[in-house]
Chains A and B, each alone.
Chain A
Amino acid sequence: MSDPVLSVRNLSKSFGGLKAVSDVSFDLAKGELLALIGPNGAGKTTCFNMLNGQLRADAGQVRLNGTSILGLNPRRVWRMGVGRTFQITATYASMTVRENVQMALISHHRKTWDIWRPASGLHVEEAMQLLDLVGMREQAERAAAILAYGDLKRLELAIALAHAPELLLMDEPTAGMAPRERVRLMQLTADIVAERGISVLFTEHDMDVVFSHAHRIMVLNRGELIASGSVDDVRNDARVQEVYLGGGTLFEGQAHG
């Protein structure tokens, strides 16, 4: 196996006396889809926030292609090729779909300080290609404010792909979607990352999505990594069973709104 894209060692964070993330270590290979699962409060989002620089870690190492990115602010981390999508969609409501993607491209090409050229003509081609990729070309001129939820998620994906990231951090990419849509979006994501060789770390509550798309699964409980491996390994892991026991379903169910 080649060197990992992302290498995490002994990542830890506590809030007050509470250990939110404790001693987490893992590698993420090029083109790999790695799912990070666990009950609410297990430390998934804290992990994500430390990886992309929103949160300062107490200890540990995070290397992207061998370069340490721990302690860098989110903007720097993004510049180094780490994209992120949000659990709650974050798009520009007063811009069109195309402009939303153009914004990310403008930032990627470092043109945000240009006060003179009209922005509308910048990187149109690139933006349309990205929208094509996520199946949003037809809606390019619509305002983001009036998009259906599933389309917003697609738009988010297009935005996240704009700076040609090597690594995508996806926080609950299918949250709030209808089951059929979830599978479709995840399939789309899987296809794109496979084609472009992007590595993905994602959290997800829907186990169907996880089991059908993740190459590998890690389970986090109370800040500790309790299992890691293939879908089957994790499913049959005794400790994982124990953590999730008693809920009727294997993993906690969550009402999606």
Chain B
Amino acid sequence: MSFYFAQFLTGLSSASSLFLVACGLSLIFGVTRVVNFAHGSFYMLGAYVAYALVQFVPGSILGFWGSVLAAALIVALVGVVVEILILKRIYNAPELYQLVATFGVVLLMQDAILLIFGGDDQFGPRAPGLDSVVRVFGEPIPEYDLVLIALGPIVLGALWLLLNRTRWGILVRAATLDREMVASLGVNQSWLFTTVFFLGSFLAGLGGALQLPRVSINLLMDLSIIAEAFVVVVIGGMGSIPGAFIAALLIGELNAFGVLVLPQATIVLAFVVMAVVLVIRPYGLLGKAETLAHVAGQVELPIRPASTLAKSIAGLLLIGLVVMPFLAGEFAIVLATDVLIFALFAASLHFIMSNGGMVSFGHAAYFGLGAYGAAFVIKYAGGSMELALLAAPLMAAAGALIFGWFCVRLSGVYMAMLTLAAAQIVWSTAYQWQDLTGGDDGLLGIWPSEWAKSKTAYYYLALVLCGGGILAMRRMIFSPFGYTLRGGRDNPNRTESIGINLRQHQWAAFIIAGVFAGIAGGVYVFSKGSIFPDEAAIPRSVDALVMVLLGGVQTLSGPVVGAGVFRLLEDEISRLDYWRAILGVIIISIVVIAPEGIAGFIKKIAVKAGFERNEEQAS
């Protein structure tokens, strides 16, 4: 019995640690609606700064706690700088822009921390005065764990007081419920958001600094904590701090007792719990349904079939793509194959996101499912490449069929988070189901059939499948089905009121996007010869978002341009040191300076120069 009680306490201390990180994320989301990917980076920064500070005051109790607080404050200031320089400019943009911008911050921070603190793992000192164990019912419990157990509720209580007993808190709560109303009350919303970011970042920094005596500090902390913090925030209900507390308890105890019962399934477990919670309570345990329809940002112009100029450019590009293998070296063919694959992948995301208004943060799930589907045919059914390329979209469609059913019940950022959860389930299953997927060692030896073995032949195969897929989706956008989706994005109520079952159409669109992402995954796996769980992981999903955004969300050619530029850029700059920082800066710049993306920017120039029709003169 005492053993289980001690295990319970251990779970509590993990829960407290988790809550400290998650509550800041939830707070920021609740007020600003920003899904802050950089929250994990702030956490990591907090740990590094605290580590550096503690070196000046070794062994001093006051010095330790002073360092922790100072680190949290420094992180809070960094958070404010990020908010003012970047996020403030894009609050009115759709959530995709903010997510991608904060991902740019993640890249930037990774290299900044590497530059400042070096790449070696650091192991902080134990907390002075709290470096031994106390016996609870005869079981040893680290003193520091007890402090953490107490800190969770203390921070929860302090936040409650701050939010319920101060004018600032009342404004923040009001803003959580209705942003526009607070703005109309004459409150300086800009200032309010900055203070919220200060507090949120402070909590992230505090969470990181407090881990000093427990964990080793390394450069992988950011992404590993952010996935976990998302789980907590989503389970608790986005924007709900008490919800985050309950969810952290749930996950902390789940881990503590999970390792006793199912030590092998620890990764999947948390995501399965998240999925179950979301199916029963789509907005999380204590979350509330979105009160406002999401802000679509700038109103889009009607889509038009391509102009003569655009058609000629596309035609030239196609001719260029067809004759390319005769002109270019072998590596250019390999790279072009990559670009085609990612163009289809990005276009499939664009199809639901831009045209359908359904943001997916987890599109890699279908890319990965397609790739695994193809690999399974080769590995387990002894099938051919042709059969495998047929299985790829089927497998992805099956996944999209199941996940899509749940996802289309939500909208906006809630839907986006559910897609992220779905992708994490796919990823963790691929990672842990070693007998089937080979786990981290992946599946190898998945090469094309004899006739498609040469780089050139495979390139043409990719051109037909990916180019065909992109054109097919483009055609769908102009079809009644495509218009229905766009209608649903513009005005769901109107759509329902003219007799259209919007949710069914959205579900179908989700499956279609899954099918094409699956084809991309299938073509990908044969071009690389192997498949690993990484292909369904968060960075792959972010890649797709960045490509769409880089090209231009509101431009039909956007994903193609974006995929091309992104892949060539990545190939080019990864030769440099600190290339992640460079990529981060490029991403942030695009979001802030040219939110219409490259294709959108070119179009704008073309309209100005008179090559393209201006929509207003067209009447």
What residues make up the interface of A, taking CB atoms closer than 8 Å to B? 52, 74-75, 78-79, 84, 86, 90-96, 99, 102-104, 106-108, 111-120, 122, 139, 141-143, 145-146, 159, 162-163
Instruction: Check B480 against A114 for contact (C-beta < 8 Å).
Output: yes
User: What chain B residues lie within 8 Å of A90 (beta carbons)?
Assistant: 491, 493-494, 497
Instruction: Check B500 against A107 for contact (C-beta < 8 Å).
Output: yes
User: What chain B residues lie within 8 Å of A104 (beta carbons)?
Assistant: 498
Given the contacts A92-B491, A93-B491, A99-B302, A115 and B479 also touching, CB distance less than 8 Å: yes
Indicate whether B534 reaches chain A with its CB closer than 8 angstroms.
no
Q: How many B residues have CB within 8 A of the partner chain?
A: 35
> Which of A84, A106, A162 counts the most B-chain CB atoms under 10 A from its CB?
A106
Instruction: Check A122 against B480 for contact (C-beta < 8 Å).
Output: yes
Q: Which of A74, A84, A116, A145 contacts B299 (CB 8 A)?
A: A145
A105-B411 Cα distance, complex, nearest whole Å? 26
User: What chain A residues lie within 8 Å of B301 (beta carbons)?
Assistant: 94, 143, 145
Q: What are 7 A-B interface contacts by the 8 Å CB criterion? A: A78-B498, A78-B499, A107-B500, A115-B482, A118-B305, A118-B475, A145-B301
Q: Name A156's closest neighbour in chain B (CB-CB).
A: B494
Instruction: Check A78 against B484 for contact (C-beta < 8 Å).
Output: no
Instruction: Check A118 against B499 for contact (C-beta < 8 Å).
Output: no
1/0 contact string of B473-498 vs chain A (CB within 8 Å): 00110111111101101110110111
Min CB distance, B116 to chain A, in Å? 46
User: What chain A residues lie within 8 Å of B300 (beta carbons)?
Assistant: 93-94
Indicate whether B2 reaches chain A with its CB closer than 8 angstroms.
no
1/0 contact string of B325-348 vs chain A (CB within 8 Å): 000000000000000000000000
Instruction: Check A113 against B481 for contact (C-beta < 8 Å).
Output: yes
Instruction: Check A99 against B483 for contact (C-beta < 8 Å).
Output: yes
Indicate whether B616 reaches chain A with its CB closer than 8 angstroms.
yes
A119-B483 Cα distance, complex, nearest whole Å? 7
> Which of A75, A112, A114 counts the most B-chain CB atoms under 10 A from its CB?
A112
Q: Which of A96, A111, A117, A162 contacts B498 (CB 8 A)?
A: A162
Min CB distance, A95 to chain B, in Å? 5
Instruction: Check B500 against A112 for contact (C-beta < 8 Å).
Output: yes
Given the contacts A94-B300, A94-B486, A116 and B479 also touching, CB distance less than 8 Å: yes
Indicate whether B292 reaches chain A with its CB closer than 8 angstroms.
no
What residues make up the interface of B, taking CB atoms closer than 8 Å to A? 299-303, 305, 475-476, 478-484, 486-487, 489-491, 493-494, 496-501, 505, 508, 512, 615-616, 618-619
Q: Which of B305, B487, B498 contacts A95 (CB 8 A)?
A: B487
Q: Which of A106, A141, A163 contacts B483 (CB 8 A)?
A: A106
User: What chain A residues lie within 8 Å of B496 (beta carbons)?
Assistant: 74-75
> Which of B487, B496, B500 counts the most A-chain CB atoms under 10 A from its CB?
B487
User: What chain B residues lie within 8 Å of A78 (beta carbons)?
Assistant: 497-499
User: What chain A residues lie within 8 Å of B491 (beta carbons)?
Assistant: 90-93
Instruction: Check A114 against B498 for contact (C-beta < 8 Å).
Output: no
Q: Name B476's closest neighbour in chain A (CB-CB).
A: A115
Instruction: Check B487 against A143 for contact (C-beta < 8 Å).
Output: no
Instruction: Check A103 against B618 for contact (C-beta < 8 Å).
Output: no
User: What chain A residues lie within 8 Å of B478 (beta carbons)?
Assistant: 118-120
> Which of B490, B508, B616 counts the most A-chain CB atoms under 10 A from its CB?
B490
